[in-house]
Amino acid sequence: MQKKNENLLEKLVKRDYNNELEKILEKKTYSENVKSILLSILYKLEISYKDYKHIKKEVLKKEELIGNIIKVIKNNCDEIKLIKPNSKESEIIGNRTFLVEKKKKRIICYNVERKLLYCLAKICKKNKIIKDNYYIINKTLSNLINVGACINEVEPLRDFNGYSWTTIPKEIESITHNLIYQNLIFLVGNDFMNKWVYNKESIMDYMQIFKERLEKLYGKEMAKEIIKLLEEISVYIEMKFDRKAKEKMLNEKEKVEDELIKIQDSEKFVEKITEEKRIITEEIRLIDETINNKHLLEQEYERRNEELALEEKIFSMRILSKMMVEERNEKLQKLEKLNNMLNPQKFVKYKKELETKIKYLKFSDSNDIDKEIEELKLKIQKLFIKCFDIKIEKCNSKQEMIKLMYEFRYYLMIPYNNKNNILEEKNLQKEIEEEIKKVLEKAHKLKVIEEFSKQEEINYELLKVIFENRNLNIEDIEIKLIREREKEKNINKNNTENKNISKEEYYIQVFDGNGIGEKRKMKNSKIMNKKDLAIRFNVKVKPFC
């Protein structure tokens, strides 16, 4: 009843997105070509949204999805330049397909709708969505989530056209980013991920909230493992896509390792800190003395300018005085940090921070980053399937079960690499088969689908087709079980042909809502007993009750 009321309300207050955008475009200095492509993107999103929502389930509301794009065009984008590949203009972006300059509020990209939509998604996002106290992860995981979110926002335009659902891996900016982000959507919900990505409350620790949400849904152990794998893969992905990242991490690792060695000998460590404190205290005294003595300040002014290049020279003693005050403040902060390190409790905390840093920095030792990513990606998928299993166990209604079946079918169709989707990934076949059986078993109990055979393997083979096709409505799928007799030659002991014998073979024909059928041979070729079957041969039946 609530859903009907929401649909009625949506019709009554239906927004004219096209008119909204046109009014905004009137005030922009975009070219007519840019205005035309933006209007086309909006039109196609409106057309595709219904199928997109029906297939994926975990999506933003239409008014939020399209409203966000209109808001970005209005507030975050003053200039859009569309260019052609291999043109002189394309030299601006080098070997990339787009350039997003957030500070200048400018987008330069190929004249491709999905590329422009990706840029619009990217230009409005904060670089860091994780607090700074999460060492390294604040950058690497922020980047992983942000890129995944941008790819996700292009999906309704990229994969849906108003009558079909098609995913082409080469059109996805990064298959790994997309896969991990889709995992997160189905683990904690699209609304949660959207709030995290667009978080405007700097005081909120979304990483902690994310951890608590995982614990509530899947338990503490599962949550701990998910976060561990997520952090690890984010660091490896960062090193893969940013060549300088690995070099920086190696240098940082060397410093942290040296520091850890030093603090092992507490006596020498205290001596070192005490000496550093003495030096800094003396430097602060000299700065105070210089600032408060005009003659000494003049000497410092001349000394510094003699050592500086022309473009770097200090223009006045007033500016020098200001610079030295800032230097003094920095030294005071360092002095406070050293004092804290001599505090036993603060020392333990400092040591723990170093150990946490080295845990992540050690990833930079890897000689095969791609291999590390593939191994982690596989572990994450196996863990995701276990989490999905928990969702199935908790499901108690027909409506929720149908939603889960759509979600699992969608998950299996996500590209795993450039060649296979998850359903086709050989390293996941065992887990996928077991999970489909669990889904079918629960769906039978909730009377969502019919049970076609008392033999589990045959029932599985007949009904797994629900998850192997891209039909928009899985409830419209029809299945026909076909039995055919095929003749084969029988070879006797003398290796000569004796006589032809007849062998029964079984086929499944799957029909979509339009009556178009695909015929395939059943792997399980056992002779089927009619008593074990709930369907007749050569008759189309619907699996859904």
What was the pLDDT predicted at 53?
A: 96
Classify residue 171 by burial, with Cβ atoms within 10 Å: 0-12, 13-18, 19+: middle
Residue 517 and residue 479: Cα distance in Å, rounded? 9
Q: Lowest-pLDDT range, 426-435, 449-458, 524-533?
A: 524-533
Q: What is the pLDDT of residues 61-80, one digit of tens each?
A: 999 999 999 999 999 999 99
Q: What is the pTM of this model?
A: 0.82
Residue 488 has pLDDT above 60, yes or no: no
E strand or H helix that includes residue 433: helix 429-445
What was the pLDDT predicted at 337?
A: 84
Q: Lowest-pLDDT range, 211-215, 244-248, 259-263, 398-402?
A: 259-263
Arithmetic mean of pLDDT, 4-20? 64
Residue 432 and residue 386: Cα distance in Å, rounded? 10
Residue 526 and residue 142: Cα distance in Å, rounded? 52
Helix pair 206-218, 220-241: axis angle to 10 deg:
130
Residue 144 has pLDDT above 70, yes or no: yes
Q: What is the pLDDT of residues 179-226, one digit of tens each?
A: 999 999 999 999 999 999 998 777 789 999 999 999 999 999 999 999
Q: Is the distance from CB of 117 to CB of 69 less than 8 angstroms?
A: yes
Residue 384 has pLDDT above 50, yes or no: yes
Report the Cα 150 to chain-centroid distance in Å: 9
Q: What is the pLDDT of residues 412-424, one digit of tens each?
A: 999 999 999 999 9
Residue 502 has pLDDT above 70, yes or no: no
Residue 178 has pLDDT above 90, yes or no: yes
Q: What is the pLDDT of residues 315-354, one digit of tens each?
A: 898 999 999 999 999 999 999 988 887 777 777 888 888 8
